[in-house]
Amino acid sequence: MKKILIFGLACGLMGCVHGRSGAVDTVLQDLPAEHLGAVVYTRDTAKFLTFLKAEIDAIEKIAGGAMQQQMQDDLGFHPLTAEGLAAAGLDPTRQMAFWLGGTNPKKPSVHGVLPLGNRDKFLTALDRILVKGSLSRGSPVKTAKGDWIGLNRTTGQRSEPAGGLLINSRWVILTTGERGDLQAFSEGPSVAQHPHLETLRHRSQKAGQMAVFMTPKWLEQLQGTSLGSEMPQAAALYADVQMTPGKEVFVEALSFSLPEALALQRRLTPKPVARVPSPKGAVLAATGTMNVTELFAFVKEEDEVAKVLKKEQRMVDAIEPVLAKLGTDFTFSLGVDGEPANPMILLGSLFARLDIAGGQPREALDGVLAAAKVLELPTDKVQAVEGGYDLFIPPFVRVRFRADDQNLTIAYGRDAQPDSDSALMKIAEGQMNAGLFDGAKVGRMVSKMVRMNIGPKIGALLQRYGSWETWSGPLEAITAGYGRLKITP
């Protein structure tokens, strides 16, 4: 872990470079599009540096410690200041990027592209970092693109290759791969010429300090792993990140979907019709749409899933009628009444509920009980009450299932009622989905309830960084999603 941290510091010190106007095109024009998987690059790194330094200062003040001083003692320079970077041989007036790519997304090549200021100073700083990670550098080998310097890791009497770097008059390119992996940096069109990147950047409404771009090949690998290989893929993803010290981190993400992917997304996530608001006091809440019948039908198309379900046909026959009667608008809420300072009061004030609007709620609820009996699940703890059922889970847990003509609700704890003026509904207005986390409220409760020294510190950090919001717009060829972390000084 220490070696990873040291190498991360070696790479990360380049990320704090001071950018100049129009720098995005400059740095992207020096990066290759061939075999590109993803690129993270700075846009206005002067503001990025200001943000990072200010927030680390704040964290040190809240949690204690002297992380920055330790970094400076370890590295011999301060990696979060322009003066420190210049002392390490980097040019603090230029930009940087991390390029990930190669022919195999499962084993990517990672290149850190750093602006060189003074070669001798850089190599001196690098040597100091490498020693702490049991690494060393070999002698320079001249190539047409610059000098290749291999890195080696020593473990006992054993020495093995550990990447290397290519250094010329403008750049230092650190790589986790081999010398041949850098060949792409001199061939073909640049990242700046990638058609999907240009399309998404022109649609972006923001101009933050850094950005991320992912290409189809890598999105296919990432999404295919988690959602199934048959899922149509988005063509590209672009995210712009704005950071304001003591105020917020704002993320705008634009996804460019292929026609078949867009058609499937619309099939699985229809437009919202009748959302149920979250209650007052919710600390975690989310709302969105999902056609569970279509989702189940899609999942059944997967070969491996189909094989499993074929053996469980009785279960499939029992649950499909229930899914067909469910609505498509979902709202989940988890919260607490007030801000209790006592754990016992907290348990009495806690609530959680899932609301499903639309469909045929009463028939769906009755279908759940019928399916449980068909599948021979225990129902002796289920009690019929007005409007639905109660499920008792010994020793004292009671889950409420209720349905009317509009909604199906599954709830636990305090009987919290929907609030049309809730913060979630304000975020979700006009959006496909939305979510929030009121960590500031959680932080205040932690500070009161946890008496140990760590409690107030965790509580203070949650109060500063705990307010999250996210939302996304209608599904289009280019779909916009947003996230905001509010910072409370």
Q: What is the mean pLDDT of residues 259-267?
A: 87
157 and 36 in one domain?
yes
Reading the block at residue 284, the tokens are 């975690």
Rounded mean pLDDT, 148-153: 91
- The sign of the CA dihedral 407, 412, 418, 421 is negative
Q: Please check whether residue 265 lies inside any domain of the structure.
A: no
Indicate if 316 and 228 belong to the same structural domain: no
pLDDT of the residue at 212: 92
Residue 18 pLDDT exceeds 60: no
What are 99-140's pLDDT values in tens digits? 888 776 677 788 898 889 999 999 999 998 888 888 889 899
Q: What pLDDT does residue 25 have?
A: 52
Neighbours of 66 (CB within 10 A): 10
| Residue % of the chain over a pLDDT of 90 | 43
Rounded to an integer, the average pLDDT of 63-90 is: 87
Same domain, 384 and 410: yes
Is residue 56 included in any domain, yes or no? yes
pLDDT band (50, 70, 90) for residue 351: very high
* Domain end call among 190, 215, 233: 190
pLDDT given at position 233: 54
Q: With the CA atoms of 236, 483, 14 and 145 taken in that order, what torsion angle do they form, in degrees rounded to the nearest 10?
A: 10
Confidence (pLDDT) at 105? 66
Smallest CA-to-CA distance from 231 within 254, 260, 256, 259 is with 260
Residue 115 has a CB neighbour count (10 Å cut-off) of: 23
**Contact (CB, 8 A) for 45 and 117:** no
Q: Is the pLDDT assigned to residue 254 strictly greater than 60?
A: yes
Q: Is the pLDDT of residue 186 over 70?
A: no
Residue % of the chain over a pLDDT of 70:
90
Q: 228 and 133 share a domain?
A: no
Same domain, 110 and 237: no
DSSP-derived letter for residue 48 is H
**Among residues 130, 164, 190, which one ends one of the domains?**
190
Judgement on whether residues 131 and 216 belong to the same structural domain of the protein: no
Which pLDDT belongs to residue 3? 36
Do 480 and 423 belong together in one domain? no
Nearest alpha carbon to residue 433 among 359, 329, 325: 329
Establish if 235 belongs to a structural domain: yes
pLDDT at 94 over 90: no
d(CA 338, CA 345): 10
Name the domain count of the chain: 3
More confident residue, 294 or 343: 294
Q: Which amino acid is at 210?
A: M
Instruction: Kindly state the average pLDDT of the residues 64-74.
Output: 86
Q: How confident is the model at residue 9 (pLDDT cuts 50, 70, 90)?
A: very low
The band of 1, judged by pLDDT with boundaries at 50, 70 and 90, is: very low
Cβ burial, residue 12 (10 Å; 0-12/13-18/19+): middle
> Lowest mean pLDDT: which of 41-45, 62-66, 372-376, 378-382?
41-45
- The verdict on 250 and 393 lying in the same domain is no
Give yes or no: residues 456 and 483 share one domain: no
Lowest-confidence region among 13-27, 252-266, 452-466: 13-27
How confident is the model at residue 66, as a pLDDT? 86
Q: What is the mean pLDDT of the chain?
A: 85
Q: Are residues 182 and 226 in the same domain?
A: no
Q: Which range marks the domain in which residue 199 is found? A: 194-260+474-489
Q: What is the mean pLDDT of residues 49-78?
A: 88
Least confident window among 107-111, 115-119, 166-170, 286-290: 107-111
The lowest-confidence range among 3-17, 221-235, 237-251 is 3-17
Of the chain, the end-to-end C-alpha distance in Å amounts to 32
Decide: helix, strand or coil at residue 138: coil
Residue 253 lies in a domain: yes
Let me know whether 296 and 339 are in one domain. yes
Report whether pLDDT(80) > 70: yes
Per the CB < 8 A criterion, the answer to whether 248 and 469 are in contact is no
Domain check: are 81 and 71 in the same one?
A: yes
Residue 10 confidence (pLDDT) above 50: no
